[in-house]
Amino acid sequence: MRRWIVVFISLLVISILLDLFLVVGEGHDGFPWSHIAGFFALFGFIGCLVLMGVAKLLGHYWLEREEDYYGKNDDDE
Amino acid sequence: MSNFPLAIIFVLGAMLLPLLPRQARSWAYLAVVSIAFVFLINLEAGATLSFPFLNYELVVSRVDRLSLAFGYVFVIMGFLGGVFGFHVKDTLQQVVALLYVGSSLGVVFAGDLFTLLVFWEIMAVSSVFLIWARRTPQSRRAGFRYLLVHAFGGSVLMAGVIWHMVSTGSILFNHFEGGIASYLILFSFALNAAVPPLNGWLPDAYPEGTVTGSVFLSAFTTKVAVYALARGFAGLELLMWAGAIMAVYGVVFAFLANDGRRLLAYHIISQVGYMVAGVGIGTEMGVNGATAHAFAHILYKGLLFMGMGTVLYATGRSKMTELGGLFRSMWPVLILFMVGAFSISGVPLFSGFVSKSMVIYAAELEHQGAVVLLLNLASIGTFLSIGLKLPYFTWFSTDRNLKPEPVPPGMYLGMALTSAICIAIGVYPALLYNLLPFAVHYQPYTASHVIESMQLLIFTGLAFWLVMRKLHAEATITLDTDWVYRRPSRLAYRVFSVAPASLFEAVEQLSLRLARSTVRLGANPPGYLLDTIRTIGHTFFGTKKPVPEPETFSPDRYRIPLGIMVLVVLLFLIALLAWDVIT
Amino acid sequence: MSSLSILTLAPLLLFAFITTLVGIWRLKWAYAAAVIGMLLSLIAAGAGVFRVLAEGKLRHFLGGWPPPFGIEYVLDHLSAFMALIIVFIGLIAVVYPPEAGLYQPPRKGIPMYGLLLLLFAGLVGVVVTGDLFNLFVFLEIYSLASYALITLGGDRAVVASFRYLILGTIAGSFYLLGVGFIYFSTGTLNMADAAQRLVPLYSSPVVMAAVALIVIGMCIKMALFPLHVWLPDAHSYASPMVAAVLAGIQIEVAAYVVVRFMLTIFQPHYFIDVLPVTTVIGWMAAVGIIFGSVMAIAQRDFKRMLAYSTVAQVGYIGLGIGLANPLGLIGGLLHILNHAFMKSCLFLVAGGIRYKTGLHEIPKFAGLGRKMPLMMAAFTVAALSMVGIPPTAGFFSKWYLVLGSIDAGNWVFLAVILASSLLTAVYFFRMVEKLYAVPSSGDAAVEQATEPSAGILVPILVLAVGIIILGLINALIVTQLLMPVAALLPS
């Protein structure tokens, strides 16, 4: 477990460094995030958590139903 | 034959196939598609084939770079689907698949709206049978709903086409300039592309198709609609936003899905969102991106459906709550499936990486920051569901001691061939870029792009891994926009009281009553009418409480007496004569 | 001048008698005689169409007596079109085996085929005659023949036939009364002559009353809502081949009469502006389309479903008349042709199913698609055409009706046409689904079912292939035959 965390943190650092040297200098888009190193790493991490969280919330409180919600699947018309 | 309408080959093939001996049919299918491919490579951009019809000129074949790009991928996918489905003995599926592929090509190469309409309808009718061919009660019902939705869409399209013809005097299929007719046509194109809120039919019907049928379904209808939107409505800003939202909508619902193929179906909506957004952006880069993504998507989505289809074939199950622990027995399928998963997620060296990013880049060029973020968010969700969650629950997670059946070699071959193309495009994008409508000024393998993608994917994976233990698939379904016509059409019974607000309860009660009335009306119209009249009489005029009429229609009960008939006739006569006298 | 009109009619009358006489002697030969008679008539009808296309209107004076004293027979585009449809469907019906089509082989002493030929003689007579009273004569001939033929379907059919008889006689009497008024006002029974003499009389209440009577009478025979009430029983209980003929062409001949009066005997503006005939017919038809479709959805019995479907389809024809513009009329007339093929095919399929399995209720048809692949394929083609899926014929008549509705700016009619496609899809695809997607429930009748014999199958397949061919060549039919007819209407 601890080894994996170490791996990920090092990946994060490496990617931020790569970002700083190879990417940020260009700033080709003029978007606010092109100047932030490691933006996409953060976006990926937080975005994933947010997606999962929001989806689960939506499901739990609104959208989810039993499988036969729309009626028993019988042979009738 | 630089302008040959490919659809004809498929129609002829479909007519001849049932006459051949059983063993030859699968080969015959592949032969038909191969013949079509030969004709395809002889098509030249700029060629047309037209002939007169009443006062108009029908352009049955219009070849240009846009239609060629879609034409290529449709024929290729038609072939790959035939390889995957080589073991299928059901002639109905084979014939219908030919018609489905052929009519899709018919739409793509149609130069006028009438031809488009004809092939559009044939597409709808043939695809229904791929759902019905599964022969389960759920598939029958889902197929029926699919049919009605598409019949409705077809009617709207017909109305729009005729209106357009009448108001502009032209029957040609080109960019639309606005006006009610084009809105109607846009509506029907959007319906087929499953743009929310018109998306309910897709996740309802696609998982119910046969193992091979769903592979075909995933490839054609929606992408034909994308082509149609690209041709008719490129640059419409509404589409850009619709696409971006659609992309995220699909992944949210996909994450909640339990059935693996339903999850994939929602991802169709999400990926088509990229294409629709690209069309909406409308620049050369945008349309290129949409086309490239359609090309790549048809292949990798077909591969993904092949993968889950193989699991379904071998185990009889497709729900994540019923699967798990297949790694040992079905690891080849896992590998091939992951090729598709990496493609759809946009992992470098796979096809999605070079296509998806083109659309995002088009958005960046137009400074549409929100769109860029939304599309990237959708990528996160895509990798999450397809690259991580689905394989985890299908091949790993809880071991349910499943004993999978052996799988026909054709299925492996189909998946392998498709994987090969996905990787080939990823490694050598020029293969795809050369087919695109406009000249490509884009280099996907830049340092920044690769780094950004890796960051996105790795850290999505991290987030998933952290939460993984807490995740478990639930045997539920989600409500979607098809609730609107499904809930009122079934006699419901007590619902899980999840709804918090009493407003929701009241709406449900109302729709339940509406549901029961519609069913009663449909089963016995005169009885329903009589019941309604008597009830009104009872509540407002205090007449006797009505005894309900029987559920089904019985002709003997509602036969109108002879005298009444004669009376009606006489009344008519008197009315008409009175009119004469008065006027 | 050409006697092709009489040559279409004469073999039918002649062979009606020959068939009956031969039938008394040898039953099998009656069948053969009937087929010969129909073939001769078909040749004449076909020749008639070609001559009319080449030369225009063809007139024939019976016995050489010129009008207005003699009876005249006329073949123009409309009558040649109708005559060919009638005789072609007639041939199909006669060829269809009686065990399936009439529930039993011809019985000694009952002149089934003779009656059938009389029925067709009456129908052809109505469309080729140029004389108002002569039309009544043929109208009654075919009506009486049909009352008799319906009763062959069993006890309930006898009652249904009686109800039809009462209403049909009322309709015929209305027509006669109307013609009487016209004769009284103009002094002539010849259609062309009356047309001229009626012009100064357009504001006369007598003429208006005449038109009202004639139109209502024909609407009863056409089963236009709400005067359709006799139809569901009559068509459900009649034997399949008889029902095919009734629904396929007999109803449409009544529509022809209305169109003939509108275009030839009166000037169109009379039916459109002076008397609101087209408006009334149009709206009744629109309601009828929805009504028929909804009722069809509720039916479990296959033939009754087809009967209500006929009410809806007649609505399309009525809508075409009601739109009162060339495109609409083309749609309505084209639908006469298409419906003849589609509905006959469907009823003959019903006969085939009943003959092979004894089944007539749709829920019991589960799984028949695999047992009788060819016949059910034909059914599917006919069903697709009824819904209006290209390239089958049904799509094109809908197309013209939609064009006509847009031309007239009538959005309600447009909505009705589009909605009815959906409704039709419901009741037909429900059956398609039962045939193909539902596994058979183990019913012995279905398990042992096999494809019917060639005798039953060939007429059905001919019609089904015809539906597709008609779809593909519809442009030809419209430009050559129907446009000259519709040109008489103001656009």
Residue in chain A nearest C297 by alpha carbon:
A77
pLDDT average, residue stretch B280-292: 91
DSSP string over B315-383: HS--BGGG----HHHHHHHHHHHHHHHHHHHT-TTSHHHHHHHHHHHHHHHTT-HHHHHHHHHHHHHHI
Residue B457, pLDDT score: 86
Instruction: Give dist(CA B297, CA B290) in Å, integer.
Output: 10
Cis amide prior to B197 (ω within 30 degrees): yes
Range of the domain at C326: 4-486
Query: Cα B93 to the chain's mean position, in Å?
Result: 18
CA of C22, closest CA in chain B: separation in Å? 38
Contact B523, B497 (CB under 8 A): no
* Residue C129 belongs to a domain: yes
Contact C48, C131 (CB under 8 A): no
Instruction: Give dist(CA B516, CA B280) in Å, integer.
Output: 42
CB contact under 8 A, B463 and A11: no
Contact B382, B268 (CB under 8 A): no
SS3 B476: strand
Nearest to A41 among B455, B491, B499 (CB): B455
Residue B503, pLDDT score: 55
Domain ranges of chain A: 2-63
At residue A64, does pLDDT exceed 80? no
CA of A45, closest CA in chain B: separation in Å? 5
Give chain B positions within 8 Å (CB) of A8: 458, 462
Nearest to C436 among B132, B553, B562 (CB): B132
pLDDT-above-70 percentage for chain B? 94
CA of C405, closest CA in chain B: separation in Å? 10
Contact with chain A for residue C297, Cβ under 8 A: no
Q: Could you tell me which chains touch chain B, where touching means 3 or more CB pairs under 8 A?
A: A, C
Instruction: Give dist(CA C52, CA C79) in Å, integer.
Output: 10
At residue A25, does pLDDT exceed 80? no
Residue in chain A nearest C300 by alpha carbon:
A77
* Residue C491 belongs to a domain: no
Look-up of token digits 């026909």: B408
CB contact under 8 A, A69 and B495: yes
CB contact under 8 A, A77 and C438: no
For B99, residues 6+ apart whose C-beta sits below 8 A from its C-beta are: B10, B11, B14, B122, B126
> In 3D, which of C443, C444, C292, C243 has the Cα closest to residue C363?
C443
Using H for helix, E for strand and C for coil, what is the string for C149-207? Answer: HHHHHCHHHHHHHHHHHHHHHHHHHHHHHHHHHHHHHHCCCEHHHHHHHHHHHCCCHHH
Give chain C positions within 8 Å (CB) of A75: 438
Token digits of residue C121: 């003689």
CB contact under 8 A, A45 and B492: no
Residue in chain A nearest B455 by alpha carbon:
A41
Give chain B positions within 8 Å (CB) of A32: 369
* Residue C96 belongs to a domain: yes
CB contact under 8 A, A67 and B463: no
CA of C208, closest CA in chain B: separation in Å? 7
For A59, residues 6+ apart whose C-beta sits below 8 A from its C-beta are: B256, B476, B478
Q: What's the whole-number average pLDDT of chain B?
A: 86
Token digits of residue C63: 């016995």
CA dihedral defined by B148, B149, B152, B158, rounded to 10 degrees? -120
Find residue C58's DSSP bridge partners: C75
Residue in chain B nearest C478 by alpha carbon:
B54
Residue B435: CB atoms within 10 Å: 18
Q: How far is CA B412 from CA B217, B407, C162, C257, in A?
A: 19, 8, 68, 66
> In 3D, which of C311, C315, C283 has the Cα closest to residue C297?
C311
pLDDT average, residue stretch B419-439: 90
Domain ranges of chain B: 1-233, 234-475, 513-582
CA dihedral defined by B487, B490, B492, B497, rounded to 10 degrees? -20
Q: What are phi and psi of B14, to 5 degrees?
A: -65, -35
SS3 C230: coil
For residue A24, name the pLDDT band (cuts at 50, 70, 90).
Answer: low
Contact B301, B277 (CB under 8 A): no
> In 3D, which of B21, B40, B42 has the Cα closest to residue B32?
B40
B residues 519..578 contacting C (CB < 8 A)? 521-525, 552-553, 555, 559-560, 562, 565-566, 568-569, 572-573, 576-577
pLDDT-above-70 percentage for chain C? 99
Q: How far is CA B75 from CA B163, B265, C85, in A?
A: 33, 22, 42
pLDDT average, residue stretch B486-509: 49
CA of C54, closest CA in chain B: separation in Å? 20
CA of C294, closest CA in chain A: separation in Å? 15
Find residue C60's DSSP bridge partners: C73
Instruction: Give dist(CA C393, CA A49) in Å, integer.
Output: 56
Contact C320, C333 (CB under 8 A): yes
Query: What percent of chain C is helix, strand and coil (3-state, nearest 5)?
Result: 80, 5, 15
Least confident range of A19-28, B195-204, C311-320: A19-28
Residue B493, pLDDT score: 31
Q: What's the whole-number average pLDDT of chain C?
A: 89
Least confident range of B551-555, C53-57, C382-386: B551-555
- Kindly indicate whether the ipTM for this predicted assembly is greater than 0.85, answering yes or no: no
Instruction: Give dist(CA C270, CA B91) in Å, integer.
Output: 57
- Compare C109 and C248 and report the one with higher pLDDT: C248
Taking the alpha carbons of C368, C372, C378, C381 in that order, is the dihedral positive or negative? positive
CB contact under 8 A, B568 and C229: yes
For residue C270, name the pLDDT band (cuts at 50, 70, 90).
Answer: confident
For residue C121, name the pLDDT band (cuts at 50, 70, 90).
Answer: very high
What's the whole-model pTM score? 0.80
Strand C58-61 versus strand B476-478 pairing type: unpaired
What separation, in Å, do the N-terminal and C-terminal C-alpha atoms of chain B show?
66
C residues 177..216 contacting B (CB < 8 A)? 205, 208-209, 212-213, 215-216
Helix H or strand E segment including B95: helix B91-108
Residue in chain B nearest C381 by alpha carbon:
B125
CA of B509, closest CA in chain A: separation in Å? 15
Radius of gyration of chain A (CA): 22
Give chain B positions within 8 Å (CB) of A64: 256, 474, 476-479, 498
Q: What are phi and psi of C444, to 5 degrees?
A: -60, -40
